[in-house]
Amino acid sequence: MFNSLTFIQVPVCFMYNIKDYRKNNKFFKQNNLMKLKFLEKYSFKKIKLLLKLKFTISLYIMNHKINLQRKLFSTNEKEVIEVLKNISEIGYPEIITDLIGLYSSSQFENVKNQIYFILSNLKNKNSVSYFIHGLKLETNPEIRTQLISACWQNGLDYSDYLEYFIEIISKESMFNSIEAFSVIEGNYTNLEESKLIELRSFVKKIKKETVEENLKLLSEVESIIS
């Protein structure tokens, strides 16, 4: 039998009014035996019903995401715009990588503009890993510049990926390097000292492989994280 009521406190609130629940809860703290009697009296049927409801909602959300992803690559511009509005309102970080792929491949200017707006205004911290994955997959230099710019514009925490942005400064165009510098500048303060030490070591190491025109910018990185 359970010796704690923690995980059923929310369902209990559905069964009884708040005042009665608070009275019971205060009493539970004084007498564990009463917890067991309470659980026996009010069976787990309602709790099971709530868990079933939670599963149903999760299944709906999963199907909804799959449906959005399918429609995202439709040849119907209006349908894609409608899907993007839906994504903008609801979120779904898992779709970010697909959005980046569509941003690169779409022939519709309105679609591209809508996607860039979404990417530049992301607020869900869980979007970061999906964004970085999409960025790594993208090979078009101009698209990469825009995506890196969207990173610092949305203001999310990319501190776990600063080495990657340092690599961009080391190896890519000046345009990409400048955008990557902005990301580093806005995120390095989120790192603990031990991580900063590792980052300084990484900068010194990668300097040897850096294209000459980007060395000055890499030195700026070295300066701000010192």
Question: In this predicted model, which residue has the larger pLDDT, 77 or 31?
Answer: 77
Q: How would residue 47 be classed by pLDDT, with cut points 50, 70 and 90?
A: low
- 38 within some domain: no
Count of structural domains, the chain = 1
Domain membership flag for residue 203: yes
Q: Looking at 30-34, 62-66, 148-152, 208-212, which range is the least confident one?
A: 30-34
pTM of the model: 0.71
pLDDT band at 163 (very low <50, low <70, confident <90, very high): very high
- Average pLDDT along the chain: 81
Q: Which tokens hold the place of 159?
A: 């501190």
Cα 24 from chain centre = 39
Q: What are phi and psi of 183, to 5 degrees?
A: -65, -45
Kindly report each contact of residues 13-19 with a partner whose C-beta sits within 8 Å and lies 24 or more positions away, as own/partner: 14/46, 14/50, 15/42, 15/46
**195 found inside a domain:** yes
Give the pLDDT confidence score for residue 177 in this predicted structure: 96
Given a cut of 90, whether residue 63 has pLDDT beyond it is no
Check residue 209 and give left, alpha or beta (phi > 0: left; psi -120 to 50: alpha): alpha
Higher per-residue pLDDT: 70 or 115: 115
pLDDT at position 88 is 79
Domain assignment present for 226: yes
CA neighbours closer than 13 Å in the CB half-sphere of residue 191: 22
Quote the pLDDT of residue 92. Answer: 78
- Supply the pLDDT for residue 14: 41
Examine residue 23 and state whether it is found in any structural domain, yes or no.
Answer: no
pLDDT at 83 over 90: no
* Chain position carrying tokens 């990469």: 144
225 in a domain, yes or no? yes
Question: Which residue did the predictor score with more confidence, 94 or 57?
Answer: 94
Tell me, yes or no, whether 167 lies in a domain. yes
Confidence of residue 72 (pLDDT cuts 50, 70, 90): confident
Q: What is the token pair recorded at 216?
A: 């000055």
Q: What's the pLDDT at 43?
A: 58
Q: Which domain holds residue 178?
A: 157-226
Burial of 161: CB neighbours in 10 Å, binned 0-12, 13-18, 19+: buried
Is residue 123 included in any domain, yes or no?
A: no
Q: Is 10 a residue whose pLDDT tops 60?
A: no
Taken in order 146, 119, 79, 71, the sign of the CA dihedral is positive
| pLDDT per position as a tens digit, 12-36 | 444 444 444 445 555 545 555 555 5
| Banded model confidence at residue 142, pLDDT cuts 50, 70, 90 | very high
Stronger pLDDT, 16 or 203, i.e. the higher one: 203
Give the Cβ contact number of residue 156 at 10 Å: 20
Task: Note the pLDDT of residue 74.
Answer: 84
